[in-house]
Amino acid sequence: MQPVYMYHGVGDGAELTDTDRVYAVSRARFEAHLRAIGRSIALARQLYENRAISAPAITFDDGHITNYTNALPALVEAGMTAEFYINTADVGRPGFVDWAKLGEMAQVGMSIQSHGDHHVFFADLDLDRLHAELERSKKTIEDHIGQAVTVLAPPGGRYDQRTIDTARTLGYRTLAVSRPGLWKHLDQPTVPRFPVYAHTSAETVASYRSAWSPDTMRAILRYRAARFGQRMLGNGGYDALRNRMVGAISGRAS
């Protein structure tokens, strides 16, 4: 059993204009997290090679430019690897990584996987559009990077059974979701992840290794409370309320 961490941007201030700042950690904090995590593996590679889950996994959603400018050098310095879920339609747009940078990241051992073609909630799409999002992003990454794309991270953590079924049909092995919990075995339809926020400490990151630590229990309870709010208000109402509560100016969900 190992934790999987969900990061977004890494850095401070100006670089993060297009980012939900709630999720962005500073470079110094990220480096402290890496020291606390110690060793990491990439989900997709473990799945592809059918290897046992032997260490925590570090993942990034959205393909922010700071994944390249800040996270990558910190990872290389620490001798660690991570997995990056990108929206293929956003690659090369201002504030996002481009194919040359993603190629460099893959060259030094990083895994590049799918966050869909566009940053849309899969559960809201009709089946044709859902199929197109999953198929196009997988093929585009495989064509550009040359790594097998076997992991799909649904934007906003929003997915349904059709998403799981369609992903399986297209050759994805699992979905990396935003539900806190530990990764237990290689054939899970979904892999839980612990969201990392701007304020998440290195101690909390370390304590997610244990299923029964107070931080782990708190993360699971917080998630359940948020899910309850989502069900009561619907996606749109929940997002509006959440954005007001966190003071987020960006409408972009994580």
62: contact with Zn ion by CB under 5 A: yes
Torsion from C-alpha of 76, 77, 81, 82, nearest 10 degrees? -90
Counting every residue, how long is the chain? 254
CA dihedral sign of residues 135, 122, 191, 117: positive
Among all residues, whose Cβ is closest to Zn ion? 61
How is residue 178 written in tokens? 């935003």
Sole residue written with tokens 């889950």:
53
From the CB of 157, what's the least distance to Zn ion, in Å?
A: 8
Residues in 145-184 at the binding interface with Zn ion, rule: CB under 5 A: 155
From the CB of 155, what's the least distance to Zn ion, in Å?
A: 4
Sole residue written with tokens 């991270």:
153
Give 62 or 215: the residue with its C-beta nearer to Zn ion: 62
From the CB of 97, what's the least distance to Zn ion, in Å?
A: 14
From the CB of 210, what's the least distance to Zn ion, in Å?
A: 27
Question: In one letter, which amino acid is 246?
Answer: V
From the CB of 199, what's the least distance to Zn ion, in Å?
A: 19
From the CB of 190, what's the least distance to Zn ion, in Å?
A: 16
Half-sphere CA count of 235, side-chain side, radius 13 A: 13
Q: Looking at residue 22, what DSSP letter applies?
A: G
Helix (H/G/I), strand (E/B), else coil: 196:
coil
Q: Which of 61, 90, 117, 215 binds Zn ion (CB under 5 A)?
A: 61
* Dist CA 25 CA 66 (whole Å): 10
Give 29 or 115: the residue with its C-beta nearer to Zn ion: 115
The CA angle 203-206-208, to the nearest 5 degrees, is 115
Using alpha carbons, list the distances in angstroms from residue 39 to 32, 114, 207. 13, 23, 15
Q: Which region among 24-32, 60-68, 179-187, 198-206 touches Zn ion (by CB under 5 A)? A: 60-68
15 to 54: interface string for Zn ion, x by CB under 5 A: ----------------------------------------
- Among 157, 151, 87, which Cα is nearest to 123's? 157
Per-state percent for the chain, helix, strand, coil, to nearest 5: 50, 15, 40
63: contact with Zn ion by CB under 5 A: no
Q: Which region among 9-17, 55-63, 171-179, 228-236 touches Zn ion (by CB under 5 A)? A: 55-63
From the CB of 246, what's the least distance to Zn ion, in Å?
A: 15
117: contact with Zn ion by CB under 5 A: no
Give 59 or 207: the residue with its C-beta nearer to Zn ion: 59
- Interface contacts to Zn ion, rule CB under 5 A: 61-62, 155
